[in-house]
Structure 1
């Protein structure tokens, strides 16, 4: 009984510690537009027999997207990914597959080579690694003369690339050196963050450092540039792991951010060839009414200016299936830096001889500060590299790498919380509006194969679109941005999208109410256009903060449709609003239609039950979004009367009689034509044809030898009732021969000396 109570207490404490302030959007936030896969305007690339398109490298210098899949690497045109420039296969051998199968893995799916690492090197070559049937292997690849080439210099990929193709991992190439976070062994029980170089360095194999982690993202931030403290560059690592700091008898995971210093060389005696700067802190993304913390699934970092402007955007999902909320939180790099450089540490304390409890450390902190990079303060102490750090500082960080304070989200609340399919990936682009202001547009992949396009306006989150790209069972596995294009990968293919598809907004009202920072209504062109530097505020309408469309010209887009119905039937009038946020409003003869036993108002139609003469009249359908109303369609509805029905049946009968008469006349004409052609011999029967040939043969046999024709077969021409010209030679002179058939069926052969006789 004590275990469940302890778990409930932890959940209660967590929920009480969670801020309950306002959210960037309500959990039921709805995308303004839903774009089906059939009309998303994207380019799809897929290769027959190839799966798992989940690794990408943008090579703008080659104008190519390097795409890693299962046992294949592609070079695609960045402007149109359906154009395949090159491809190279990297399969496993039969022996490698058999060895993998012998170790208990699935030969069909697991024992293959999944491309997991693609990075550009300083020499323009690429570094590529694959799982290689649970024997991670790396190689060098180059592109030249329209071909991708693996150099065959295969290297051990342990610690760089995961063994398991379905295990999360991350890596980053920094100045030609690979930093990676994955597992070092076959079973996945030795997680590490490692730098692969001559001074190879990694984390400790300790649950205090990494406890069953799920690695998510790695980012290199050049904090050493123009830093007044002479600090070093940092490598930030985002992951989730099983928490050690909570008193719980059940497993509870939390999200983390860790960081190390680029120039870390490890310690002299303590932490030899281990990170001396590894620190980690909890990443907080508070969602009200959620008992367990959400877990980070992807991170995108954006630096509009120098490193101090860097922001990390992260997507979070619940760790229990019972919750349906996903969230996006943003973090300032200054806030993360403050936690690591000035925050308190947590320390393990043994309680009751066996139980370890983590509490805030309140003792003395060694100098230089544990986990700090070699900065100006350290150099003033005569410490020029981590090998010079005292053992007291190193032992402290070895035992206590966890910070007591969590990194809080920007504004202490999520930017976006949404119910529905879980978020999977995120990228963020900066859009410059018509007034010159900058806005961060988020593209969020989901587990149902779609991408959300959203932007935050002063705390108000607007989801402009949900674009369906793949089937509902195909999650988005990777997102990449290049200029104005978005590349979306899944197990079944890759889709290229334009991030500023303004053509989807058909009217001025639709364009302005979308509040899309990329788009504005061009009055001179009469269309929704992409905002660029040439547009002037006098000719383009855009209102992002409030969606003010009052400047839009008034236009009635409704179409009048006449419909008649039979009494007692059910009538359905269609009306599809241009926005999911618009409310449908119906009127009958200028008066509002209210739901009743006779009328049912649906989101896209009006149902009229047991329609009678009272249902006749003029119906208009309008969309109401915000303070704006647009009429879409008008119906003139009337019931069929007895006289109209009689007239209709009479008209139908007259048309039927006319049609029958025409068919009879056409049949008679056709019969006469057939008889005439048979009479003239245009359509000879097989019997007549045999008689012609037989008579011709007998006639030829009766002719003198010098008058016999060369061929005994006469080929009748059905077009002119003449045989084909047959040629023979007599006394060096060629004569033409014509064949005619008399009424008695006899064939008459005669010489034709005059052209007029032909």
Structure 2
């Protein structure tokens, strides 16, 4: 019985350990809870989408090349597709076929590439003038560009030129380009092996094999702003002085009108500068998301400030060999410009630390600024910019931290696009974000500024691409149509509808969704998309807080009495604001109540809120409350288990005869050796074992030693004195 009690005690200890680990795990999960929860999770079959597969049997490496109000131009394998923005139907008259020649294809295979590699994947398209466009493709690892003119209902080739420095060799290489003022600015590689990265606009380019300018970059995006062209990319950081290497996110800029430097620098940039992008969780030891994957278009809004801010959203992740973490950070263009006006970073020797350059050592005019003619700049300015292209300060994240963080072993963020400044029924404006992942999901989120900070609320998590295909690119199909997004994978393009208003059936769920696209129509008793309504009179919405209790408040006509002091006459005005007609309320929805349907309610006076305006409150348990309940239940279960185990052990445990366990063991051992027991220690049956054993033999002469005193002697029957050996058991 004693062993049974010990088993119960051990079980109780095990229960305690399990509960402690469970509570610790729950606390860790709660730390990520605000950023890891999604209000809606839709699987592939639940998402409404239209697919354009392209070549069904070959990889296409799709990319969106251009977009207008009616069409979206997609580049693929040996072909350009013109798709309708409304139903994704291909307009065959707008298709352009451009396969590689047999000679280029055979040469590509001789260089060790596969047959799929040795195709022409279209990567660049831009319009030079009405009716003319330029297209560039990989062309079996020998990039080419063509100029097309639209005549007689089809596109005809006018000329063909090499595309080295403009278009990548490999369709999977990360490259970007922007066309501005008749010139193409590109960031790609200029050799077959991909070992010569460059930022190029004919004839200017970055330095060849200069790691201080470009060190194994992966280009993400580009845009033109003010007098500059900006490039966003990630690269191995030369300023990282610890063991190993680390990748940092960068933003670089060049002047639009940079004409190159004097003498031998005539084909080199004189305005190339770059800075680090800081996207980290603040703290004593900040946690960085260092690898930029995608950026949005430039958007503009107030974001809780009086002045407009132009910002760009970026997707940044942890390294591929680290715990899977992704973040969304926003960057103000004003902050980017300010950093480029700060100190330059300098390294005296290869083993020296990187330090800011003193202001008195910076030449005049300041390197990196746009000038009228860069070809007349002094040589010291051009040489300084070559060796000091990195800025000392990093570009801080707008709002001071990421607006969304996800830690997941299943996916990382890969792409982003933004429906900017969606207007709500309360004349508030919010950015709706669409975020792609590397396992085929698209997250819909809303950026909710709050004072000096902001936080993205994830509205839904939707599986759009089947079989876990990565989302390569995201584009809005149409700004006037809420929730329609073009999702680009390697071998498939889908037009997905991520407007969830129609799937919501209750007022509280519609309001708590915090989707700027959706509002509850109390007259029609349905969750509707704002872009299809003509009046906001009966709509309920709360994007800022998602307060579902607004559905309980009475919505009815209010009357106020205004006295005219001049003639002491009373003028009664009826003010109708956000009213709900009695016949428009849904009696089946318990979350929409007017207080007029209960006969027991008090009458409403003119100067007070009466009736059943405040009768019940919707009980919503938060995550913190749930954790407290779990802790209390666990502690109560622990005590009940301990008491039950103790009582169970006492029930089967008999009362003890002896107070101490050692005495019990000695007594049992002596009983086994007693005269009334038999066993393997008993020499013969029914023969007693004496505790004093006589050792017989001849009588040795007595010896004198220190044991004489107190020795026990025995006298035998014959009168001889024998020595007795005692055995104590």
Instruction: Name 2:222's counterpart in structure 1.
Output: 218
Shift of 1:292: 6.0
In structure 2, do the counterparts of structure 1 residues 455 and 43 end up closer, same or farther at CA, with 3 Å as the change threshold? same
Q: State whether structure 2 residue 263 is matched by structure 1 residue 272.
A: no
Query: 2:331 touches 2:396 (CA, 8 Å); kept in 1?
Result: yes
Query: 1:55 touches 1:117 (CA, 8 Å); kept in 2?
Result: no
Q: State whether structure 2 residue 458 is matched by structure 1 residue 463.
A: yes
SS at match of 1:310: strand
Instruction: Name 1:703's counterpart in structure 2.
Output: none
Instruction: Name 1:259's counterpart in structure 2.
Output: 253
**Aligned-partner Cα distance in 1 for 2:428–2:589:** 33
Query: 1:243 touches 1:252 (CA, 8 Å); kept in 2?
Result: yes
**Aligned-partner Cα distance in 2 for 1:135–1:54:** 19
SS at match of 2:165: coil
Instruction: Name 2:72's counterpart in structure 1.
Output: 65
Query: 2:280 touches 2:288 (CA, 8 Å); kept in 1?
Result: no
Q: State whether structure 2 residue 193 is matched by structure 1 residue 193.
A: no
Aligned residues: 516
Shift of 1:525: 2.1
Query: 2:62 touches 2:488 (CA, 8 Å); kept in 1?
Result: yes
Q: How does 1:50-89 map to 2 (within 5 A)?
A: 50-60=58-68, 63-85=70-92, 86-89=94-97
Shift of 1:392: 2.0
Query: 1:24 touches 1:417 (CA, 8 Å); kept in 2?
Result: no
RMSD: 3.0
| C-alpha distance after superposition, 1:445-473 (max 9, x if no partner) | 10011111101212232100112111243
| Counterpart selection for 1:480 from 475, 485, 490 | 475
TM-score, with structure 2 as normaliser: 0.66
Q: State whether structure 2 residue 419 is matched by structure 1 residue 429.
A: yes
| C-alpha distance after superposition, 1:469-526 (max 9, x if no partner) | 1124310011112323321110221111345442132322221111100111112222
**Aligned-partner Cα distance in 2 for 1:84–1:38:** 27
| C-alpha distance after superposition, 1:339-386 (max 9, x if no partner) | 102x11111211xxx535422212421111110112xxxxxxxxx321
Shift of 1:550: 2.6
TM-score, with structure 1 as normaliser: 0.64
In structure 2, do the counterparts of structure 1 residues 293 and 507 end up closer, same or farther at CA, with 3 Å as the change threshold? closer
**Aligned-partner Cα distance in 2 for 1:37–1:534:** 29
Query: 1:51 touches 1:493 (CA, 8 Å); kept in 2?
Result: no
**Aligned-partner Cα distance in 2 for 1:259–1:519:** 40
Q: How does 1:90-169 map to 2 (within 5 A)?
A: 90-107=98-115, 109-142=116-149, 147=154, 149=155, 151=157, 153-169=159-175
SS at match of 1:153: strand
**Aligned-partner Cα distance in 2 for 1:24–1:135:** 51
| Counterpart selection for 1:446 from 437, 449, 461 | 437
**Aligned-partner Cα distance in 1 for 2:503–2:175:** 37
| Counterpart selection for 1:203 from 179, 201, 206 | 206
Q: State whether structure 2 residue 319 is matched by structure 1 residue 316.
A: no
In structure 2, do the counterparts of structure 1 residues 113 and 30 end up closer, same or farther at CA, with 3 Å as the change threshold? same
| C-alpha distance after superposition, 1:519-544 (max 9, x if no partner) | 11112222212224965443001111
Q: How does 1:685-696 map to 2 (within 5 A)?
A: none
**Aligned-partner Cα distance in 1 for 2:31–2:180:** 35
Query: 1:27 touches 1:325 (CA, 8 Å); kept in 2?
Result: no
In structure 2, do the counterparts of structure 1 residues 425 and 150 end up closer, same or farther at CA, with 3 Å as the change threshold? farther
Farther-moved stretch of structure 1 (301-310 vs 389-398): 301-310
**Aligned-partner Cα distance in 2 for 1:477–1:65:** 16
Instruction: Name 1:734's counterpart in structure 2.
Output: none
Find runs of 4+ consecutive structure 1 residues off by over 4 angstroms: 23-28, 142-147, 288-293, 305-308, 532-537, 553-558
In structure 2, do the counterparts of structure 1 residues 556 and 324 end up closer, same or farther at CA, with 3 Å as the change threshold? farther
| C-alpha distance after superposition, 1:140-196 (max 9, x if no partner) | 24556664x351622101000011221110001112311100011111111110113
Q: State whether structure 2 residue 384 is matched by structure 1 residue 396.
A: yes
Instruction: Name 2:674's counterpart in structure 1.
Output: none
Farther-moved stretch of structure 1 (90-99 vs 513-522): 90-99
Instruction: Name 2:522's counterpart in structure 1.
Output: 523
In structure 2, do the counterparts of structure 1 residues 466 and 522 end up closer, same or farther at CA, with 3 Å as the change threshold? same
Q: State whether structure 2 residue 288 is matched by structure 1 residue 285.
A: no
Shift of 1:217: 0.6
**Aligned-partner Cα distance in 1 for 2:272–2:246:** 22
Gaps of 5+ in 1: 1-22, 224-232, 375-383, 559-580, 586-593, 596-758
Q: State whether structure 2 residue 398 is matched by structure 1 residue 410.
A: yes
In structure 2, do the counterparts of structure 1 residues 150 and 239 end up closer, same or farther at CA, with 3 Å as the change threshold? farther
In structure 2, do the counterparts of structure 1 residues 159 and 126 end up closer, same or farther at CA, with 3 Å as the change threshold? same
Query: 2:236 touches 2:247 (CA, 8 Å); kept in 1?
Result: yes
SS at match of 2:384: helix
In structure 2, do the counterparts of structure 1 residues 69 and 533 end up closer, same or farther at CA, with 3 Å as the change threshold? closer
